[in-house]
Amino acid sequence: MARQGAKTEPDPAAQPEPGSDPPEPETVGPPLLLLGTGFLSVLVSVPFVFADGIPAHAFGYVFGSLIPILLVGLVRRADLDRRRSHLYQERSFLRPALAVLAVTALVAAGLHIWPIATELSK
């Protein structure tokens, strides 16, 4: 035999008051936390530009270019998924910010690869 659970009454505190407006649904925007993480990753790599040795520049290369470029792709993918929602709130600065992040990642890559290549050519 199936066991029947006790019937529970809905919590009256959770119900909206009669005559009040229903709560507005939350809007959905682009993944700005991922975008900020990309810029933070580039900033983490900046001190390693002035360091000596291949391991320091390899670390700077990973954090200054590989991770930000990966995050550019993830931000674009997540933004595309979120745009399908009717609650999506577009941010006009997203595309320029992604372009700036990609360019800074390319500059960071050059600044870290050049010393590695110079050291390996010796």
CA-based diameter of the chain, in Å? 81
**How confident is the model over 20-76, as pLDDT tens digits?**
666 667 888 899 999 999 999 999 999 999 999 999 999 999 999 999 999 999 999
**How confident is the model over 104-117, as pLDDT tens digits?**
999 999 999 999 99
H helix and E strand count, the chain: 4, 0
Separation of alpha carbons 32 and 120, rounded Å: 38
pLDDT score, position 11:
59
Q: Which residue has the tokens 């992040």?
A: 101
Is the pTM for the entire model greater than 0.85? no
